[in-house]
Amino acid sequence: MNGTLFTERRSVGSFDASQSLDREKLKAIVDLAGNAPSAFNLEPWRIIAVGSEEGKERLFERANRQPKIKEAPYDLIIVGDREGYGPQNPAWEELKSLAGEEGAKRSIGAAARLYGSSEERKIKFAESNGGLLAMSLMYAAQAYGVDSHPMSGIDFEGIAEEFGLKEGEHVVMVIALGYRDTSTALRPRRKRKDYETLVEEV
C-alpha cells in the first residue's frame, strides 16, 4: 500500500508566483478529480477557475486578502448547487437510459425528499458533495505533482456576488493550485486524531 498521496499533500501556505500551471495540466487534474462520488451521481457542482490577474485581484479582495490567491497560478472556486437534486439535472436523463423511465422517476422523487425537504438539507447536499469534489481535486493535483491550499476564510457571499453565481448556487470553498514557494519552509504537519480518539466502534 502506498499512502504517500495522503501524507505528502499539504496546505502549502505560499506559492511560487513565477511558476505557471499549464492549462492542460489543470484540465487533467479536474478530469481526474471528476471521478469523485456524488449522491445519485448528480455532480451538483461546478468550478470557476480564476487564472487572470484581474480575476485574482477581485477574488483576493473577497478572500480576506490571503496572499496565496495572487501567488497561485489558479484559484478554483468550488461552487455547490443546492438545487442540484431537482428534475432539471441532466444526470437524470442518463439514469433513464440505465434504469428506465419509472426507475428514474422513483429516484427523482427520493432525491427530492432526501435533499430538498428543508433549506438545511439543501445546504448539506451542496456542501457534502462539493466538499468531496474539493478533496478529490487536491489529491488529483498531488498525483500530478501540483500543490494546493484550501480556503474557507473567505467572504462566501461576496465571492458569489462578484462572480455571478446563480440562484441556488453557493461557494463551498476556494482552492489555490500551483507550485509551492520552496524558499519558505512548510509548517510542521499537525498531529491528527488516532484511531482510538476518532472511532467509536458499535
CB of 11 to ligand FMN, least distance (A): 3
Pick 59 or 108: Cβ nearer ligand FMN: 59
What's the CA dihedral at 160, 54, 62, 186 to 10 degrees?
Answer: 120
Pick 189 or 193: Cβ nearer ligand FMN: 189
> What is the rounded CA–CA span in Å between residue 9 and residue 166?
32
> What is the rounded CA–CA span in Å between residue 173 and residue 156?
8
> What is the rounded CA–CA span in Å between residue 39 and residue 118?
17
The closest residue (CB) to ligand FMN is: 153
> What is the rounded CA–CA span in Å between residue 190 and residue 192?
6
Pick 44 or 130: Cβ nearer ligand FMN: 130
CB of 151 to ligand FMN, least distance (A): 4
CB of 122 to ligand FMN, least distance (A): 19
Pick 11 or 19: Cβ nearer ligand FMN: 11
CB of 177 to ligand FMN, least distance (A): 14
Place of cell 468550488: 78
Across-strand partners of 170? 80
> What is the rounded CA–CA span in Å between residue 159 and residue 162?
5
Pick 36 or 108: Cβ nearer ligand FMN: 36
CB of 167 to ligand FMN, least distance (A): 24
CB of 60 to ligand FMN, least distance (A): 13
Contacts of 111-116 with C-beta under 8 Å, sequence gap 24+, read: 111/39, 111/40, 111/42, 111/85, 112/85, 112/86, 114/39, 114/85, 115/39, 115/85, 116/83, 116/85, 116/86
Pick 111 or 159: Cβ nearer ligand FMN: 159
Q: Which residues make up the interface to ligand FMN (CB under 6 A)? A: 10-11, 66, 150-153, 173, 189-190
